[in-house]
Structure 1
Amino acid sequence: MFRRHPVLSIVTLLYLGVVGYITLGPQPPVGGKNGIVMQVLRILWEHPVTDWVTYNGVEFTANILMFLPIGLFFLLLFGRRRWWLAVLLPFLMTVSIETAQIWIPGRVSDIRDVISNTIGAVVGVLLGLALTAPRARRARRARAEARA
């Protein structure tokens, strides 16, 4: 894996390090009512078209977006045949993160994070499968022609 895709392997490890720091590192000071997220939400709540946006929805979506690259990177590293591994590993990572957060002061373990992170990994895997489909079809055709 590392020999086949050294740059992707390094990028994946760096990204996993960032995710680890974000999810297990020191909790950043919360902006509270004056934080940038709340300021943006207040602006959205002023308009009927966007007043449905909630803090929980933003957090859920952010978790999906954070794990989408992990699913994509793992699919590219492990290959299309092992797509299930690119879903299983992020799920297990998330369960481990949420379990560890139980003992980290200021952190809250939440089953919604497991759900949103896994959804993000699945979306990343599906994106990777879609992006690699043309090449996989060409390789399949070439193998079939070689046998014939």
Structure 2
Amino acid sequence: MPTPEPRPRWAAWALAAYLLAAGALLLSPIGPGRILGALVAWVQHDLGVEDFRQGWIEVPANVVLFIPLGFLLALLLRRAWVSVLLSVTVSFVAELLQLQLSDRLSSVRDIAANSAGAVIGAAVAWMLMKRSSRLHGDRSAETARSD
């Protein structure tokens, strides 16, 4: 019976760094909406794409923001579904806390986009863990055959 691979120490450090950076971004009293608003104005006025909307940037950015959380939690917990559940909870709590900040907006769309990112990250981690366990199991089988 193959022994499970140890949890990667780098993933714990990466998760800590991610949580600090994401917490600062998500809970900053100055929302990224100002930056996005300036970017949208530039695209609309200077580039002439008048139909361009803030959501075209905001939704993909929220997806990308939560991919590392889903990925790192899945690596550390070894359960993709638990990773997704925790990531959705983090997103929900962040949106609730944003309700208390005057310059921030909270939305269900953000929770959905964040959740999608967590699912993508957890799925990638799950595929890598499956591949790794298959390779680890194959090496154990080869060692057993050679004895």
Q: Where on the TM-score scale, by shorter chain, does this alignment land: which range?
A: 0.7 to 0.9
SS in structure 2 of the partner of residue 103 of structure 1:
coil
State the number of aligned residues. Answer: 137
Q: Unaligned regions of 5+ residues in structure 1, if any? A: none
Match of 2:58 in 1: 59
Q: Looking at both structures, which has the greater relative contact order when contacts are Cα pairs under 8 Å and sequence separation is at least 6?
A: 2
Taking structure 1 as reference, are residues 54 and 100 closer, same or farther at Cα in structure 2, changes over 3 Å only?
same
Give the conservation status (yes or no) of the 8 Å contact 2:71–2:122: yes
TM-score, normalised relative to structure 2: 0.78
Partner of 1:39: 42
Q: Partners in 2 of 1:99 and 1:67 — Cα distance?
A: 17
Q: Which residue in 1 is equivalent to 2:74?
A: 75
Q: Report what 1:130 is aligned to.
A: 127
CA contact (8 A) 2:71 2:124 kept: yes
Amino acid at match of 2:42: Q
TM-score by length of 1: 0.78
After superposition, the CA RMSD in angstroms is 2.7
Identity %: 29
Q: Which runs of 5+ in 2 are unaligned?
A: 1-5
TM alignment of 1:64-143, pairs within 5 A: 64-79=63-78, 82-141=79-138
Q: How big is the shift at 1:32?
A: 7.5
Quick one: distance in 1 between partners of 2:86 and 2:107? 18
**Take 1:32 and 1:14, find their aligned partners in 2: how far apart are those partners?**
24
